[in-house]
Structure 1
Amino acid sequence: MLGDKVKLLFKFFKEILFALFAWLVIGPITILVPRNKKLIAVIGKDGGAFLDNCKYFYLQSQQHLVGQQKCIFITNKKEVLEILQKENLPVITYPSLAGAWFLMRANIVVVDSFEWFKQLRFFLTLGAKKLQLWHGVGFKQIELGKQNFAHGLFTTGSLLRRIQIYYRNLIGRNVFYDLVNTTSEFYKKEVFEPAFTSKNFTSFGYPRNNFGYSNNNLINTDDFIFEQLENWLTEHKKIILFVPTFREHRDTPLGLNFENIDLINKWCETTNSIIIFKLHPWENSINHVKSAFIYQYQNDKDIYPLFPYLSAMISDYSSIYMDFLLLNKPIFFLIPDKQQYLAQDRQIQFDYDEMTPGEKVEKWKQLLPIIEQQRENDCFKNERKELCLKAFDSNDQSLSTKKILDFCINKHWLN
């Protein structure tokens, strides 16, 4: 136990020394390099994953930008580089000299997660306009609302909180954004304004929620699943997606023992259904879950293009179900560890039951019959519609990217 604290403390001071070097050396160089108001850098989650709002903002920007304006994806992932190069889309790897030079020159930096600041990215973007699109609309505490700094260190309470603020400011973790884009006035006020420090908050909706068909949308999706999709639709299969979130201890209690797998298989065969499991990218695969009716979607691939073809979704505490509300299809909640999750994993900002319009059960044997019953009597349809209105303000999600770009043009951040 003491050894773990010493390691944590050593890491803490190492990061401080590295940040001091960056402020004294990298920062001044960055500030001296002129920024180009025609350049936009997009940095995906985990250093450059091609997913979520960054993916769709980037793809849609290629259609909206004119003249010499350029929107370039920055990634540390070889597979993303190869995918985008194959599609003749502009991409640069980072860490690299070319990537560092572009980050120093781009006038706008677009992100949708928190860890983008690492590997000197924050210091290379000093002076750039930073746009935070974020990656979820749910009920969990995020960013400034989260109190998860250095659990197990030698101090607690208000002193720890002050240390946390100074430390995060120093390493670039607490970013002062120029724009935080949200999905509705409700979420802007209740979630994003308390969670981020920003000059501007908008509620233009999320670029990823444009569910219109596009070949580009299928970039970085699970090829096998989409190859099967045409057959499933021809056979009138009911496709159900299960998307649980991660736990801090990385142990998702899915209840997928062999007995439940057999139960699910028999139910799928009887009801002409397919169940697709999509785990959080931080989770491990479930290698034993394979059958003619159960499939596992690659957890580092984009799931959103599959949404229009789903008949229902099963979740637990993942915010992904909020986006699915836009299609007003049934949502079910499998929550065998509700009390433990809310107490130990993530604090929530709203009442869980009020923000989850669907049946809630603890076991698969309870869930499967309920799914079939709701196909005949969808009693949560109005509740889903009301929550969707609160979450998205009836915004046309297909206009999100254009509204963000227009905002940047009006602010003279882009010309």
Structure 2
Amino acid sequence: MNKLITDIKYWLQALMIPLYWFSFLTPRNKSIWLLGSSFGKSFSGNPKYLFLYLNQYQKDNVRAIWISRDKKIVDFLNNKGYEAYDAKSFYGIFYCLRAKVYIFDNYSKDISFWLSGGAKKINLWHGVGLKKINYDNIFDTVRHPKNKWERFKTYLRRMSDEKPNHYILATSKMMADIFASAFQTTDKQILTCGYPRNDIMFESDFKNIYNDTEEIALQYMKEQRKEGKYNVLYMPTFRPTEQEFFSIMDLNAFNNYLCDNNIVFYTKLHPKSKLKTQFGELQYSNIYDISADVDVYGLFHEVDVLVSDYSSVFFDYLMCDRPIILFPYDYSTFLKNTREFYFDYEEYTPGKKVYTMEELMKEILDARVVDKNIEKRHILRNKMFKHIDDRSSKRVYEQVARIVKLSKISSK
């Protein structure tokens, strides 16, 4: 029944096509910029930090508005003094038809695809990653349908996804080349400005905002560090084999190890993970689960070492210049059953690789004593990021302002 309802909702989108063509006729204001994230369900990632930057530094030049499908997000931002509207509200629809700029991190449906005709679309994307994406991912049936039936049933999805004329944000020349292939666009459509979400990792007067869940996690991490504890953050990627974690780990023994060594082990899963509930129900004194929906970039200052596997988050964490441990316990299975990599895993991973709980425990203690991978991290960071500073948001703003020919471009 659920699948039938989902299918009906999908095909009902065809009724929106005339509205999409109508939206090309509405006059658009080049100083109104709309931002959204994660299909309208999150306030996070690159759009979040660009939105905060625009409101804090470019308010005289740009009217930045957040569009969401979650009333809690709209209320949260309104209460913080920011302009935000529900995508289906009168004002949400009005500004979707009036804004000249759409900025998002998946597709324009993060805001409203069906009302986006005539807007300039800026895809900030959501990761500098190992795994192949979009048209480079041969397992993607939306972009690589196997037959006419698959091509027909995925037509609406392709229509509302990224287009070659969208602008795509990249972090370096190497990533620009990859994204040009993945999104089937030209070099001219790639903006190599760096990621706004990395700005928060540097000392500056930029003001972040936290929801209640994020604030609780942040204060807890600060308290643990004040007490002399070592904060270890575990952020695995989403994949079918992630459940093997519980066969690899003896959590009772692991928690005893954490207690003995004054370590707190934080877990933060991918929002699509099927293990979110299972991790959220863990009851151990030194294991703390952070909600999968939390924007973690504002917490990185309180993390002493990152543990990951294939997630793009370890590239971002390079900006913190702190130890990284790779825990790819399912490496052989993962390669067989999931997407191909852009890079050689051994070459483009910046830390020690461990495959068992015992190896993980030893490496955490070793990293606490001496950071052995500084040089390797710096080499990789320079490949992945052209800019290593807190001015990515500024560069994105300036590039987009030029694209829409904004009359006044502030350089703050």
Which TM-score band (shorter chain)? 0.7 to 0.9
> Is residue 188 of structure 1 aligned with residue 176 of structure 2?
yes
CA distance in 1, matches of 2:62, 2:373: 45
Q: 1:388–1:87: structure 2 CA closer, same or farther, 3 Å change rule? A: same
CA distance in 2, matches of 1:378, 1:187: 27
> Is residue 289 of structure 1 aligned with residue 279 of structure 2?
no
> Is residue 35 of structure 1 aligned with residue 25 of structure 2?
no
Q: Is the Cα–Cα contact under 8 Å of residues 245 and 318 in structure 1 kept in the other structure?
A: yes
* 1:183-225 superposed Cα distances (whole Å, 9 cap, x missing partner): 1111111x21111144521211110101236684242352322
Q: Is the Cα–Cα contact under 8 Å of residues 33 and 101 in structure 2 kept in the other structure?
A: yes
Correspondence for 1:138 among 125, 129, 141: 129
Q: Is the Cα–Cα contact under 8 Å of residues 261 and 289 in structure 1 kept in the other structure?
A: no
Q: Residue 117 of structure 2 aligns to a residue in which SS? A: coil
CA distance in 1, matches of 2:149, 2:385: 36
> Is residue 311 of structure 1 aligned with residue 304 of structure 2?
yes
Amino acid across the alignment from 2:374: K
Which residue is 1:267 aligned to?
257
Q: 1:349–1:58: structure 2 CA closer, same or farther, 3 Å change rule? A: same
Q: Is the Cα–Cα contact under 8 Å of residues 107 and 413 in structure 1 kept in the other structure?
A: no
For structure 1, which segment, 316-325 or 228-237, has the greater mean C-alpha deviation from structure 2 after superposition? 228-237
Q: 1:178–1:287: structure 2 CA closer, same or farther, 3 Å change rule? A: closer
Give % identity.
Answer: 27
Which residue is 1:238 aligned to?
230
Q: Residue 276 of structure 1 aligns to a residue in which SS? A: strand
Q: Residue 255 of structure 1 aligns to a residue in which SS? A: helix
Q: 1:82–1:167: structure 2 CA closer, same or farther, 3 Å change rule? A: closer
- State the shift of 1:83 in Å: 1.2
> Is residue 117 of structure 1 aligned with residue 117 of structure 2?
no
* 1:310-363 superposed Cα distances (whole Å, 9 cap, x missing partner): 111000111001001112211111112112222212221111111112121222
Q: 1:218–1:64: structure 2 CA closer, same or farther, 3 Å change rule? A: closer
* 1:235-274 superposed Cα distances (whole Å, 9 cap, x missing partner): 1211110001111x485322278x7222222222222211
CA distance in 1, matches of 2:394, 2:265: 35
> Is residue 378 of structure 1 aligned with residue 368 of structure 2?
no
Correspondence for 2:44 among 40, 51, 55: 51
> Is residue 206 of structure 1 aligned with residue 195 of structure 2?
yes
Q: Is the Cα–Cα contact under 8 Å of residues 40 and 108 in structure 1 kept in the other structure?
A: yes
CA distance in 2, matches of 1:174, 1:226: 35
Q: Is the Cα–Cα contact under 8 Å of residues 207 and 397 in structure 1 kept in the other structure?
A: no
- State the shift of 1:45 in Å: 1.1
- State the shift of 1:162 in Å: 6.1
Amino acid across the alignment from 2:230: K
Q: Is the Cα–Cα contact under 8 Å of residues 39 and 110 in structure 2 kept in the other structure?
A: no
> Is residue 147 of structure 1 aligned with residue 116 of structure 2?
no
Which residue is 1:352 aligned to?
345
Q: 1:282–1:178: structure 2 CA closer, same or farther, 3 Å change rule? A: closer
CA distance in 2, matches of 1:14, 1:288: 33
CA distance in 1, matches of 2:105, 2:272: 17
Which residue is 2:410 aligned to?
none
- State the shift of 1:34 in Å: 0.1
Which residue is 1:79 aligned to?
72
Q: Residue 252 of structure 1 aligns to a residue in which SS? A: helix
Q: Residue 130 of structure 1 aligns to a residue in which SS? A: strand
* 1:23-78 superposed Cα distances (whole Å, 9 cap, x missing partner): 3x202321221001110000111324111101101001112324362000000112
Listed as ranges, the gaps of 5+ residues in structure 1 are: none
CA distance in 2, matches of 1:412, 1:288: 48
- State the shift of 1:149 in Å: 4.5
Q: Is the Cα–Cα contact under 8 Å of residues 241 and 333 in structure 2 kept in the other structure?
A: no
Correspondence for 1:22 among 1, 16, 20: 16
CA distance in 2, matches of 1:359, 1:264: 19
- State the shift of 1:166 in Å: 5.3
CA distance in 2, matches of 1:48, 1:17: 21
Correspondence for 2:246 among 252, 255, 280: 255
Amino acid across the alignment from 1:269: C
Q: Residue 384 of structure 1 aligns to a residue in which SS? A: helix
Q: Residue 60 of structure 2 aligns to a residue in which SS? A: coil
Q: Residue 23 of structure 2 aligns to a residue in which SS? A: helix
- State the shift of 1:293 in Å: 1.3
Q: Is the Cα–Cα contact under 8 Å of residues 255 and 364 in structure 1 kept in the other structure?
A: no
- State the shift of 1:176 in Å: 3.3
> Is residue 107 of structure 1 aligned with residue 100 of structure 2?
yes
CA distance in 2, matches of 1:297, 1:271: 21
Q: Is the Cα–Cα contact under 8 Å of residues 145 and 194 in structure 1 kept in the other structure?
A: yes
- TM normalised by structure 1 equals 0.87
CA distance in 2, matches of 1:303, 1:290: 22
Q: Is the Cα–Cα contact under 8 Å of residues 239 and 275 in structure 1 kept in the other structure?
A: yes
Q: 1:12–1:145: structure 2 CA closer, same or farther, 3 Å change rule? A: farther
CA distance in 1, matches of 2:106, 2:162: 12
- TM normalised by structure 2 equals 0.88
CA distance in 1, matches of 2:304, 2:139: 37
Which residue is 2:54 aligned to?
61
